[in-house]
Amino acid sequence: MDKEKMKELVDKAVSDLKEKGNLQPMLIVDGVLGQAIVMMEFPEEVSKRTVIEEAGRAVAEILPFGVAIITECWTAKTMPQPGQHLCDMPDREEAISILYWEQGKEIDALLVPFTRVGTEIVLGETSTPDPGTKVAAPILAPFWIGVAKGATEVMHDRKHTQNN
């Protein structure tokens, strides 16, 4: 995804955050046959991996080649010790995270730190990883599993329709 498109996504996410006070996680899916936007909810009884896999399955028809996840996250300069979480770190910051994974390419990332001051959202400076930094996005791996499963189902349905 080009930097201009990622900036548009950041601007939309910032607008939503300022308007609503929080950011509903979403996937932006680029496909051979179009684009899809999937607004996600993560019920406590269902894992995030399952929700993201189901999203991949649901959009398989557009033949996805790239997916962005936009969400709020915690960041910290200090890595937590085993048993600790980023949200427990004294140097933690909230941020908007945008990760874009196009098949066969490196993952693009943008991070916009922010602070809540009463009802106001104060933005920090948008940052990208230093050149040469490899970005991992294990949260997106289930999306591609879902796409593969969904594509298999679409092919099966088409074959079944042709045979009838």
Chain-centre distance of CA 34, in angstroms?
18
The pTM assigned to this predicted structure is 0.82
Distance CA 8, CA 100 (A): 13
Chain-centre distance of CA 117, in angstroms?
26
Question: Could you list the pLDDT tens digit for every one of the 164 residues in the chain?
Answer: 777 888 888 888 999 998 988 899 999 999 999 999 999 998 888 899 999 999 999 999 999 999 999 999 988 878 788 888 877 888 888 999 999 999 889 899 999 999 988 888 899 998 888 888 888 888 999 999 999 999 888 776 666 666 66
Domain encompassing residue 69: 3-163
DSSP state of 106: P
Check residue 160 and give its pLDDT.
62
